[in-house]
């Protein structure tokens, strides 16, 4: 049986680890807070007391952590993966981090006889629960082939997109599209409400035409109902817009619409809403039109 160490059992990592258990892997999980580990154990996984404990006997090590410094710390720290895992282990980082950091980690890992893939995902909490994530993978083709059974357990559309770091570049493009689309969906709902048009049927018919998208169908209901329980936290999307803005600048690529979307998410975070679902960008657009009240946004589903 293949042992997978899974580090970072949050909104995304927990259901992904559970899907690996269901697919027949021996999953040993570690997370900074313990309730998430307990949830994995309740579904047939094993608990680790530390990163070292999780990785020491693992064939495959998966990470699903918030940001670049978290992944760098967990992989390269004294009590981290590179210093304590078995040589030859396959490391799959599912987190969304900076592409240049992913490329550096892959190089460092290779030096320590590890194989490292960057494999950021899209599809949200629902995709993680359903095991239908889109996974964009950077790294060596042979390592991609070896990771296939893991990818198949958590994802549906899994594509090798190039060398180390490439997965993160594709994910940055993904976040650009999602942020821009979210902003326009929010604007459309503010506009519809201003005219007193019933928003639910409007969203249904818009979804059947060229304006249809997963962002529209999954996120418009949050905006209409003012329920912003994450999902995908504003502060994480704000982090991703920092990644794509910096990477685009380095490449000399102008992203005017993306920059505007980044400002809206940044403003939301600055106003104390970093913990809400990113669909809460609706609140900023509502405010720009002098609409919406002072009511505290609802975070209950």
- The count of residues in the chain is 301
Least distance from C-beta 32 to ligand NAD, angstroms? Answer: 4
- Among positions 242-301, residues that touch ligand NAD (CB under 6 A) are none
Stretch that binds ligand NAD, among 62-70, 106-114, 213-221, 261-269 (CB under 6 A): 62-70
Give the residue with the Cβ less far from ligand NAD, 64 or 164: 64
Residues tagged active-site: 171
Contacts of residue 296, defined as CB under 8 A and 6 or more positions apart, other chains included, come to: none
Cβ atoms of 4 and 14 closer than 8 Å: no
For ligand NAD, the binding residue among 20, 64, 202, 247 (CB under 6 A) is 64
Asked whether position 11 contacts ligand NAD by CB under 6 A, the answer is yes
Burial classification of residue 68, based on how many CB atoms lie within 10 Å of its CB (0-12 exposed, 13-18 middle, 19 or more buried): buried
Rounded alpha-carbon distances, angstroms, from residue 140 to 22, 143, 147? 27, 5, 11
**Sole residue written with tokens 């994450």:** 230
| Smallest gap from residue 194 Cβ to ligand NAD (A) | 30
167 binds ligand NAD (CB under 6 A): no
Binding ligand NAD by CB under 6 A: which of 32, 148, 198, 291? 32
Based on the shown chain and the rule CB under 6 A, indicate whether residue 136 belongs to the binding site for ligand NAD.
Answer: no
**Nearest position to ligand NAD, beta carbon:** 10
**Residue 150: both structure tokens together:** 């893991």
β-pair partners for 30: 7
Smallest gap from residue 171 Cβ to ligand NAD (A): 8
Q: Is 10 in the site for ligand NAD (CB under 6 A)?
A: yes
d(CA 18, CA 128): 10
The answer to whether 65 contacts ligand NAD (rule: CB under 6 A) is yes
Integer angstrom CA distances of residue 71 from 95, 98, 207: 8, 10, 37
x/- letters, 218..237, toward ligand NAD (CB under 6 A)? -------------xx---x-
Beta bridge partners of 90: 60, 115
CA 58 to chain centre: 24
Distances (CA, A) of 277 to 4, 231, 234: 30, 5, 6
Residue closer to ligand NAD by CB (options 10, 139) is 10
Nearer to ligand NAD, 143 or 238 (CB): 238
Kindly tell me which of 100 and 192 has the beta carbon lying closer to ligand NAD. Answer: 100
How far apart are alpha carbons 206 and 197 in whole angstroms? 13
Please tell me whether residue 169 binds ligand NAD under the rule CB under 6 A. Answer: no
CA-nearest of 26, 17, 7, 10 to 75 is 7
How many residues bind ligand NAD (CB under 6 A)? The answer is 27
| Binding residues among 86-105 for ligand NAD as defined by CB under 6 A | 95-96
CA distance 159 to 144: 9
> Does 165 help bind ligand NAD (rule: CB under 6 A)?
no
Residues near ligand NAD (CB under 6 A) are: 7-13, 30-33, 36, 64-66, 70, 74, 95-96, 121-122, 124-125, 231-232, 236, 240
């Amino acid at each position: 049986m293949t042992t997978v160490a899974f580090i970072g059992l949050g909104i995304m990592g927990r259901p992904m680890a559970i899907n690996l258990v269901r697919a027949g892997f021996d999953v040993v999980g570690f997370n900074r807070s313990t309730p998430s580990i307990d949830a994995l154990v309740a579904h047939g996984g094993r608990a680790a007391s530390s990163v070292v404990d999780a990785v020491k006997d693992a064939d495959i090590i998966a990470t699903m952590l918030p940001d670049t410094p978290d992944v760098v710390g967990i992989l390269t720290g004294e009590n981290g993966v590179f210093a304590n895992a078995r040589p030859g282990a396959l490391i799959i980082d599912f987190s969304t981090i900076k592409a240049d950091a992913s490329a550096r980690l892959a190089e460092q890992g290779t030096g320590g006889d590890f194989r490292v893939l960057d494999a950021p995902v899209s599809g949200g909490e629902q995709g993680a629960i359903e095991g239908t994530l889109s996974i964009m993978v950077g790294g060596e083709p042979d390592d991609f082939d070896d990771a296939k059974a893991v990818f198949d357990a958590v994802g549906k559309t899994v594509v090798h997109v190039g060398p180390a770091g490439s997965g993160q570049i594709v994910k940055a493009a993904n976040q650009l599209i999602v942020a821009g689309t979210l902003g326009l969906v929010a604007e459309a709902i503010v506009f519809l409400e201003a005219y007193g048009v019933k928003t639910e049927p409007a969203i249904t018919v818009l979804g059947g035409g060229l304006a249809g998208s997963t962002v529209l169908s999954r996120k418009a209901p949050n905006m209409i109902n003012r329920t912003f329980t994450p999902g995908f936290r504003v502060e994480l999307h704000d982090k991703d817009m920092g990644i794509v803005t910096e990477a685009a600048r380095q490449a000399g690529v102008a992203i005017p619409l993306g920059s505007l979307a980044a400002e809206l998410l940044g403003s939301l975070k600055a106003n104390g809403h970093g913990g809400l679902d990113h669909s809460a960008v609706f609140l900023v657009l509502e405010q720009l039109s002098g609409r919406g009240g002072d009511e505290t946004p609802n975070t209950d589903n």
